Structure 1
């Protein structure tokens, strides 16, 4: 994965927003504002790496990063919740 410093900063910033957004969308599964932000950053990195590998292109530029990061954060938050509750929602 070849990433510039600017790309890394965009992913970090968008991950912050995506984590907060994921916490609002997936109510009851959040880990507080700090936990949601950290999961958002992790989801942003995963989505930014995985979606281009799968050939998925939604939007362009910053809009694409926001969409990828939000989807990544929501999915990661749901997976963490599934693991944490023993497979029950």
Structure 2
């Protein structure tokens, strides 16, 4: 992977992570770095799932791929939030 691909993955991961965090109701007790990391992982896994379903490369915006990635990010954020210690 080239440096431009890594930078793109980080930016897309940030967007996916933030959108996934917005989907999860309530306040999350995880940091920004974890949100970005979950977003990056969700972006890669979501792209692989979309490619497997043959919905990755369409004309225009790949809405189905984005929905898969955001859904995976929301699941990851909710799962990690359950493990995060609660502050009082």
Contact 2:17 2:36 in 1 (8 A): yes
**Paired position in structure 2 for 1:76:** 76
Q: Deviations over 1:10-52 (max 9, x none)?
A: 3331111110111122033732322211111110111011211
TM-score, normalised on structure 2?
A: 0.60
Distance change >3 Å, CA 12–CA 47, structure 1 → 2: same
- Count of aligned residue pairs for this structure pair: 80
Answer with 1 or 2: which has the greater Rg. 2
RMSD, aligned α-carbons: 3.2
Q: Which structure 2 segments of 5+ residues have no match?
A: 84-88
- The structure with the greater share of residues assigned to helix is 1
Q: Which structure 1 segments of 5+ residues have no match?
A: 85-89
